Amino acid sequence: MTHPLPSIQDAVEAFLEDFDFGEGGQRTRLSYRSGAFAFLRFIGEHESLKPETSIQRLPSSLSADFKSWLQGAAHSGPGRQGDEEKPLQRSYSPATVKLYLQALNRLLRFWWYREWLSFSTEEEIEARKALQIQRSRGQRERTQTRSPEVPSDFGDRMLEAVSELPLPKVVEMPDPAQRRKVRLENLRSRALIHTLRASALRASDLCDLTRSQIELAKHNNGYLAIAMRKTGLLAHVVLGKDALVAIDAYLKERTDDSPWVFIQHGRTGAPP
């Protein structure tokens, strides 16, 4: 008989009751207890999670989300007994952020041991990397060098241009072979530009994308780790909803069995 999984609140309490804090003893327990309470407050302010939510609904991006919250959460310190609370602060100190993330890491390991989480350690690590990259891009100005002849809104113009590419119907293009070729090429162009914009991959790496990788991204909030041809390093990218929708529309139009996402039409099965 399978027992129901605990709520997030109950899972935190189980950790505080059962975890072996080792030589750190009471001081370590108090530090992790503070981190656990901060985590529960984060859960209470989360848009889709609550303390009573089943632990199985925790996402693989949990660590990155908690860190972001710690760095911007308003809170007040308790002060000494008998004293007033400290003034409201806009974020926790770097040392406290580090401590509370260590506490969350212990919580996750405890829950993995109990088999309470729906994601693996590898998925959590990769999701954290991807979200950190995505957020850092949004928080700083782009510093890539580009030709002054290339307008700053070039990507937006490209998206606008491919969105206007026609998808002819029978009445507009009676020849079925010609109509199919135009539809496939225009849907491919839309998917290419959306994916380039979302990932910033080189064209050679984009051409290596497979259908199975796209399916994997769909099950991991759009995240993919891709080995780059030129450097051999991993590129951590997140394909947004618009990119995945554009890719889906293109693949659904096709009837071939090629494993590649982007192919030459007329040479089915070979990447472009």
pLDDT of 39 above 60: yes
The mean pLDDT value for 200-217 works out to 89
Say if residue 268's pLDDT is above 70.
no
Q: Which residue is associated with the tokens 């959306």? A: 194
- Evaluate the CA torsion angle 83, 88, 89, 91 in order and state its sign: positive
What whole-number distance in Å separates Cα of residue 33 and Cα of residue 103? Answer: 8
pTM for this predicted structure: 0.47
Q: What is the mean pLDDT of residues 104-113?
A: 86
As a whole number of angstroms, the distance between CA 118 and CA 131 comes to: 19
**Could you tell me which residue, 87 or 265, shows the higher pLDDT?**
265
> Is residue 10 over pLDDT 50?
yes
Per-residue confidence at 140, pLDDT binned at 50, 70, 90?
A: very low
pLDDT computed for residue 20 by the predictor: 64
pLDDT tens, 240-257?
888 999 999 999 999 999
DSSP letters, 172-189, are T---HHHHHHHHHHHHHH
- What is the percentage of the chain residues whose pLDDT exceeds 90? 20
Q: How many CB atoms lie within 10 A of CB 16?
A: 15
Q: Which of 175, 8, 24, 190 is nearest to 107 (CA)?
A: 8
Residue 261 DSSP code: S
> What pLDDT score does 253 carry?
92
Q: Look at residue 263 in the predicted model and tell me its pLDDT.
A: 92
Give the confidence band of 232 by pLDDT, cuts at 50, 70, 90: confident
CB atoms near residue 35 (< 10 Å) = 23
pLDDT tens digit sequence for 73-92: 654 444 333 434 444 444 67
Residues pairing with 234 in the sheet: 227
Residue 14: which residues within 8 A CB-CB, separation 6 or more? Answer: 6, 110, 114
Which of the pair, 32 or 272, is modelled with greater confidence?
Answer: 32
Exposure pattern of 142-170 as b/e (b: 16+ CB <10 Å)?
eeeeeeeeeeeeeeeebbeebeeeeeeee
The per-residue b/e assignment along 69-90, b for 16 or more CB within 10 angstroms, e otherwise, is bbeebeeeeeeeeeeeeeeeee
Position of tokens 């529309």?
Answer: 249
Q: How does DSSP assign 64-97, residue by residue? A: HHHHHHHTT--B----STTSPPPPPBSS--HHHH
The reported pLDDT for the residue numbered 134 is 53
Indicate the range of 46-50, 101-105, 124-128, 239-243 predicted with least confidence.
124-128
Residue 51 confidence (pLDDT) above 80: yes
Question: Residue 28 has which token pair?
Answer: 């370590």
The residues pairing with 54 across neighbouring beta strands, listed in sequence order, are 7
